[in-house]
Amino acid sequence: MSLPAVAKKDFQDTVRSRAMLLLVALFSGLVAVMAYAVRPGPESDAFATELLLSIFVGPILVTTLVPLVAVVVGYNAVSGERESGSLKLLLSLPHSRADVVFGKVVGRAAALSLAVFAGFLLPAVVLIVLPVSFNAGSYLGYTVFAAVLGSVFVSIAVGCSAAASTQRRALIGGIGIYFLFVLFWSTLTGQLLGAFDPVVERLPASTVQIQTFLETANPTTGVQVLTTAFLSDQLFAGETLNRQISAAAMLVFWALAPPLVGLLKFDRDDL
């Protein structure tokens, strides 16, 4: 029961932190303001919740703000306790290093997921009041996908924290990954395909298949693919089925691989 104990403590500490409360308030306020700002006029037809989420809230806020919050939540999970010395005390209890790493992933991902759901409450009230065709099922499902995205980035950040010897290095790693996936991925993958075009042509996979893989390898794009399909009632169906499966598989990969890599480095470190 060591892993659940670590997860429970980390969840409680994260939820109670002032920084988390401020982030929830900021996210909730931004989504609510955006919902109000793009509301239809008195003579316009009501627009659907799905339209607001897929065009405004998702690309502008969820895929940019949620990963950043996740990095802030996870970067000091292990490295912070290593620098403070509390990690030695934690490991003196019946906890393995794997319990510590994955317990912190579970605890902080759960705390961030709770924060995401709390952050979507006020915007839901705003949407109910506004002349919007409010779909509670679509709104709740979209919130789940936003929480999944946050949890994946928490896993990545905790993996960096486990592999790094200091909080500063963990933060640099987490921010670097954030910039890679959120800001530079499309540009870098496009340049990569262009530079290795002769090699790509000789591979057994087609250029379209390689492009699809590179796109869905980015967790933010993967969540966008799944949310778009969900909001259009085409989740794991329709013409984008293969793309959705690839996106889901890559999300699972990013949720597991970084903590495992971080644990391999953490296991070899002399504390």
List the Cα angle 140/105/159 in 5-degree steps: 125
- What do you get for the CA distance between the two ends of the chain, in Å? 24
Backbone angles phi and psi of 218, in degrees to 5? -85, 120
Query: Residue 38: CB partners within 8 Å, gap ≥ 6?
Result: 52, 56
Q: Is 233 left (phi over 0), alpha (psi -120 to 50) or beta?
A: left
What pLDDT does residue 155 have? Answer: 96
Q: What is the residue extent of each domain of the chain?
A: 2-264
Query: Residue 228: CB partners within 8 Å, gap ≥ 6?
Result: 54, 240
Question: pLDDT tens digits for the chain (271 residues)?
Answer: 588 888 888 888 888 887 778 878 887 888 777 777 766 555 444 456 676 677 666 677 788 888 998 999 899 889 888 888 888 888 888 888 899 999 999 999 999 999 888 888 877 777 777 666 677 888 888 889 999 999 999 999 999 999 998 899 999 999 999 999 998 888 887 777 666 666 556 666 666 777 788 888 999 999 999 998 988 888 888 888 989 999 999 999 999 999 999 999 998 877 6
| DSSP 8-state class, residue 77 | T
Query: Residue 117: CB partners within 8 Å, gap ≥ 6?
Result: 143, 147
Could you tell me which of 196, 193, 242 has the C-alpha nearest to residue 216?
242
What pLDDT does residue 239 have? Answer: 85
250 within 8 A of 148, measured Cβ to Cβ: no
Record the pTM: 0.89
What pLDDT does residue 223 have? Answer: 93
